[in-house]
Chain A
Amino acid sequence: MGAAERIGQFTLDNGLRLVTAPASTGQVAAVNLWYGVGSRHEVPGRTGFAHLFEHLMFQGSGNVAKAEHFDVVERLGGDINASTSTDRTNYFETVPTHALDLILWLEADRLASLREGMTQEVLDNQRDVVKNERRQRYDNQPYGTALERILRLAYPEGHPYHHPTIGSMADLDAADLDYVKSFHKAHYGPDNCVLTVVSDLEPEDVLARVEKFFGAVPARDALPEVPDASLNSSLGGPVRDAVTETVPAPGVFVGFRVPAYGTREFDVLHLASAVLGQGQGSRLYRDLVVDRPIAADDGGAAADILPFRYTDSLLLVNMLAREGVSGDELEQAVRKTIAELAGGVTEEELDRARAVLELDHLQSISGPSGLADSLSSCAQLFDDPALAYTWPDRWSDITAEEVRAAAERLLVDDNVLVVRFDPETSEAPAAL
């Protein structure tokens, strides 16, 4: 029996969707919960809230003390974490199998009773932690604000993808306890959750355990309003944001709006991004790192695609200039290489791109935790967990002409955004 046929799928009466799958090593259970809430659900003035909320989920609930959730899992030698994106918030643990019930109980407790454990002190502390996370990842990193700037250019003011998940310092300061509680009520219900368990247990056994701990948690009374993520106009490019600040070298970030995650066109553009800038056989690496060479060696990671399910996704290219190379020169060269994709793609390039993306996919599902996350994702976003195994098939019949045509239509000036970083002065010391 193939791996995809061994997936179990169940829906509890309260709407919780359960996915089960076998692990390839023994004695281990990976638990992964995808809640259908992300920064796209935030309203102006409340940015950063979905992510701040993710932190609060570790701060205690009705029957669990602050930090106890972490303590239980660490004591088991397990892995535990969570993350927030535009489209979802996921929570995950990998533990020895005998601890599965305890993990399910902990997850059910914070789903059902987080509001009882929440205090102003906890909120104040985690707000400070998140502000330091923002400093560490954005404000104190060279080029750290690039994504924030890219999103600002890519989506209009008021659009739910206009801001990054980390939010703004001002909005984080304004977070209050009542809003925390109302956010939990609005978004955290079993009917908004996919729970995946990857283990060596039988699917029915897992189902019985999940029923036991989650079965009595009621579904939400009402569904929250979701901010409108439709886009009425094109990007109107080129649009740009030029930043002069303390960076070690000029940095070029180029982005294009592309179709939503899950469409065939998205897959076509995903292949295009691999042809352009994933791997050392990619065009940007060959042209600008090896042949010319004017861009810093990034090992072949210049292009990527941000998969947004509910609005246009973004194809992004990022390169840093070599010493003595100006930002203008690098930007022109990057955009020229991208534009040339419309001139055609060879079969060999396409084969390499497929192989690179396939390996990436295989790596992402090669451990129980990554597999569980991928199953949750495919169930939550596409209602089809088997896609976690079969996703590479989507690339198999995409033709070189499709990639070329998509590039000709989408990787063009009126769909382009550029964020440029340039060092403050030409004499700036290289180290700073």
Chain B
Amino acid sequence: MSQTRPELGAPASFTFPRPQRVDVGAGTVVAIDVPGQLLVSLRLVHQHGAALEPLDAMGVSLLTSEVLEDGPDGNSSLAPALERHGAEWNSRVTWDAFVTGLDVPVNRLNQAVGLFSEAVRRPALDADDILRRREQLVERFWLGSASAQTLAMRSVGGQLFTGRYGTPLAGGPGKLGAVTPEQVASFHGDTLASTAGTLVVVGDLTGVDLSELGKRVFGDTSASRERDLTTPAPPPGELPRVVVVDRPGSVQSALVIAQRVPSRKEVDLPRAEGVSEILGGMFTSRLNMELRERLGYTYGAGSGFDLRRDTGVFLMSTQVEADTTAHSITSSLEQVNELRDGGVTEQELQTVRESNTVGLPVSYSTARSMAGALVDMVVHDLPDDHVDRQRAGYEKLTRESLDSAAQEYLHPEQAVVVVAGDAERLRGPLGETGVGPVEVVDPETLWA
């Protein structure tokens, strides 16, 4: 073994494929042709997410998304019909969007799209199906919350927000359990049945007629209405503070340290994401190197932004051996403070700049990831060259611009530390950290 380490040559320049846009009726088809990619990703985007739900119908988006799977004939008939076409239904509700779609082999696209269109526009919405799905969702909520990590993540919203964001996206069992079949029908009628949306298509489009595809999906629908968003207020309470969501007997604790940040439009993405990557967005980032690679407390630690149209959250998360919980929290907060006080290193700057520029061919090497980028552009009204603009933003990063982003976006003094773990075991050590007041909550009382 005598080879010397090879020098990296110059990377090839990368440009995100410019999508084709075809306006059909009230809707638009946005497409990227990837020759040889025989599995097509098709996504219909409605800019109507769970954030817009009225407080007396929280969870109606997710429930509707589930009920669509009952299909035009009801009784859970859609998925089996699609399965016979080798297609997979794909539906996702976020705070900002309602996305439906299919992954389908290109040779079966035509047959599958007919079914898809019927399913989105003219579902049966039988009351029995809706009630069955609703009960299942409520039970699944509790099944999911049995995982420490899920329990901790779901508990964050109520600590940072009043209004819709104070309750998990799924609605929380109390509210979701009260959503009626009439509310589902009315939600569907207003947002999906009559509103065109934008259709994203990525894959080998040889011989695919995009106009025809658009006609079948958009039919005689109309354009969507603009909706106002207002930034929700925080709940009362001292900051920073520690909230233990009690999970007796836990051998590990799931930690989420969260704070509010501005909305997606207000945040300067390359600077903000750059700082987050340095803190916790990579294997070699500071949190992971400290908590995992030096201290051995965890299998992994990370951080990231959850940016919405009207607000945002920055969070750090990890799962640590129970007895290291208090030290893991103070260590994490120390890492943030060191980053704020000492700034980033030249090497960290290089890593962030390079990984978000030369790495783009890797990020966009599948139809799914390209479709994901197009969906993001539609949801947030971004230009077709958004990916290239972001790349330019990363190329311009300097240590100073990242340091100022750490000051601007990272505020441990405004954080809430949520711990899903054994309260009896943790209460003492957590109090001794001096991070802030420690409150213990019973998960059963959180989402009544």
Contacts of A71 in B (CB 8 A): 284, 351
In the complex, B354 has a CB within 8 A of chain A: yes
A431 CA to B350 CA in the complex, in Å?
Answer: 45
Return B269 CB to nearest CB of chain A, in Å.
15
Which of A130-165 touch B at CB < 8 Å? 130-133, 135-137, 139-142
Residue of A nearest to B80 (CB): A281
Known interface pairs A98-B8, A113-B1; A366-B366 also in contact (CB < 8 Å): yes
Q: Is the CB of B247 within 8 A of A432?
A: yes
Q: Is the CB of A94 within 8 A of B284?
A: no
Which of B124-171 touch A at CB < 8 Å? 132-133, 135-137, 139-140, 142-143, 145-148, 151
Contacts of B143 in A (CB 8 A): 142, 248-249, 296, 320
In the complex, A76 has a CB within 8 A of chain B: yes
Q: Is the CB of A290 within 8 A of B8?
A: no
Contacts of B225 in A (CB 8 A): none
Q: Is the CB of B145 within 8 A of A431?
A: yes
In the complex, A182 has a CB within 8 A of chain B: no
A65 CA to B280 CA in the complex, in Å?
Answer: 21
> A366 touches which one: B6, B39, B151, B251 (CB < 8 A)?
B39
In the complex, A79 has a CB within 8 A of chain B: yes
In the complex, B86 has a CB within 8 A of chain A: yes
In the complex, B363 has a CB within 8 A of chain A: yes
> B1 touches which one: A62, A290, A296, A429 (CB < 8 A)?
A62
In the complex, B117 has a CB within 8 A of chain A: no
Known interface pairs A25-B364, A296-B136, A358-B86; A136-B299 also in contact (CB < 8 Å): yes
Question: Contact string, B27-64, partner A, CB cutoff 8 A, digits 1/0?
Answer: 00000001111110000000000000000000000000
Residue of B nearest to A99 (CB): B8
A271 CA to B103 CA in the complex, in Å?
Answer: 21
Known interface pairs A76-B354, A136-B319; A102-B84 also in contact (CB < 8 Å): no
A26 CA to B360 CA in the complex, in Å?
Answer: 11
Question: Contact string, B299-329, partner A, CB cutoff 8 A, digits 1/0?
Answer: 1000000000000000000011100000000
Known interface pairs A94-B362, A132-B298; A108-B1 also in contact (CB < 8 Å): yes
Contacts of A30 in B (CB 8 A): 365
Q: Is the CB of A27 within 8 A of B361?
A: yes
Partner-binding segment picked from B184-192, B288-296, B375-383, B408-416: B288-296
Q: Is the CB of B69 within 8 A of A431?
A: no
Count of chain A residues with Cβ under 8 Å from any Cβ of B?
A: 90
Contacts of A137 in B (CB 8 A): 299
Q: Is the CB of A67 within 8 A of B36?
A: no
Q: Is the CB of B79 within 8 A of A125?
A: no
Return B380 CB to nearest CB of chain A, in Å.
22
A26 CA to B370 CA in the complex, in Å?
Answer: 13
Which of A33-63 touch B at CB < 8 Å? 62-63
Which of A355-397 touch B at CB < 8 Å? 355-356, 358-359, 362-363, 366-369
A26 CA to B365 CA in the complex, in Å?
Answer: 8
A79 CA to B360 CA in the complex, in Å?
Answer: 11
Contacts of B250 in A (CB 8 A): 140
A246 CA to B443 CA in the complex, in Å?
Answer: 15
Residue of A nearest to B283 (CB): A70
Which of B55-110 touch A at CB < 8 Å? 69, 75-76, 79-81, 83-88, 103, 105
A78 CA to B356 CA in the complex, in Å?
Answer: 10
In the complex, A175 has a CB within 8 A of chain B: no
Residue of A nearest to B277 (CB): A74
Return B65 CB to nearest CB of chain A, in Å.
12
A97 CA to B252 CA in the complex, in Å?
Answer: 41
Q: Is the CB of A74 within 8 A of B1?
A: no
A134 CA to B442 CA in the complex, in Å?
Answer: 26
Return B154 CB to nearest CB of chain A, in Å.
11
In the complex, A414 has a CB within 8 A of chain B: no
Return B159 CB to nearest CB of chain A, in Å.
17
> B3 touches which one: A28, A139, A213, A323 (CB < 8 A)?
A213
Q: Is the CB of A105 within 8 A of B11?
A: no
Known interface pairs A132-B320, A248-B142, A359-B88; A63-B12 also in contact (CB < 8 Å): no
Q: Is the CB of A432 within 8 A of B296?
A: no
Known interface pairs A432-B146, A432-B248; A94-B105 also in contact (CB < 8 Å): no
In the complex, A280 has a CB within 8 A of chain B: yes
> B252 touches which one: A112, A140, A293, A320 (CB < 8 A)?
A140
Q: Is the CB of B148 within 8 A of A78?
A: no
In the complex, B237 has a CB within 8 A of chain A: no
Q: Is the CB of A293 within 8 A of B362?
A: no
A25 CA to B442 CA in the complex, in Å?
Answer: 50
Contacts of A128 in B (CB 8 A): 295-297
A212 CA to B151 CA in the complex, in Å?
Answer: 51
Q: Is the CB of B249 within 8 A of A352?
A: no
Q: Is the CB of A362 within 8 A of B39?
A: yes
Residue picked from A62, A131, A355, most chain B C-beta under 10 Å: A355
Known interface pairs A281-B84, A293-B132; A96-B358 also in contact (CB < 8 Å): yes
Residue of A nearest to B75 (CB): A290
Return B163 CB to nearest CB of chain A, in Å.
24
Q: Is the CB of A135 within 8 A of B354?
A: no
Residue picked from B38, B293, B363, B444, most chain A C-beta under 10 Å: B293
Q: Is the CB of A429 within 8 A of B147?
A: no
Contacts of A429 in B (CB 8 A): 442, 444
In the complex, A403 has a CB within 8 A of chain B: no
Residue of A nearest to B3 (CB): A213
Question: Contact string, A236-252, partner B, CB cutoff 8 A, digits 1/0?
Answer: 00000000001111000
A79 CA to B365 CA in the complex, in Å?
Answer: 11
In the complex, A430 has a CB within 8 A of chain B: yes
In the complex, A262 has a CB within 8 A of chain B: no
In the complex, A193 has a CB within 8 A of chain B: no
In the complex, B206 has a CB within 8 A of chain A: no
In the complex, A279 has a CB within 8 A of chain B: yes
Known interface pairs A96-B361, A141-B147; A280-B80 also in contact (CB < 8 Å): yes
Q: Is the CB of B139 within 8 A of A135?
A: no
Q: Is the CB of A296 within 8 A of B139?
A: yes
Which of B2-17 touch A at CB < 8 Å? 2-3, 5-6, 8-12, 14
Contacts of A76 in B (CB 8 A): 354-355, 358-359, 362
Instruction: Sample 23 A-B pairs with CB under 8 A, ordered by A number.
Output: A24-B34, A25-B37, A25-B364, A27-B14, A28-B361, A76-B355, A77-B356, A77-B362, A96-B359, A113-B1, A246-B248, A248-B145, A249-B143, A280-B80, A293-B132, A293-B136, A296-B139, A351-B84, A363-B39, A363-B88, A363-B103, A368-B365, A432-B443
New A-B contacts (11) at CB < 8 Å, excluding given A105-B5, A367-B366: A67-B293, A74-B282, A77-B362, A79-B362, A129-B293, A280-B69, A280-B83, A323-B139, A368-B365, A431-B442, A432-B248
Nearest 6 pairs between A and B by C-beta?
A77-B359, A281-B80, A128-B296, A280-B79, A27-B361, A112-B1
Taking Cβ atoms with an 8 Å cutoff, the residues of B that contact A are: 1-3, 5-6, 8-12, 14, 34-39, 69, 75-76, 79-81, 83-88, 103, 105, 132-133, 135-137, 139-140, 142-143, 145-148, 151, 247-252, 282-284, 289, 292-299, 319-321, 350-351, 354-369, 442-444
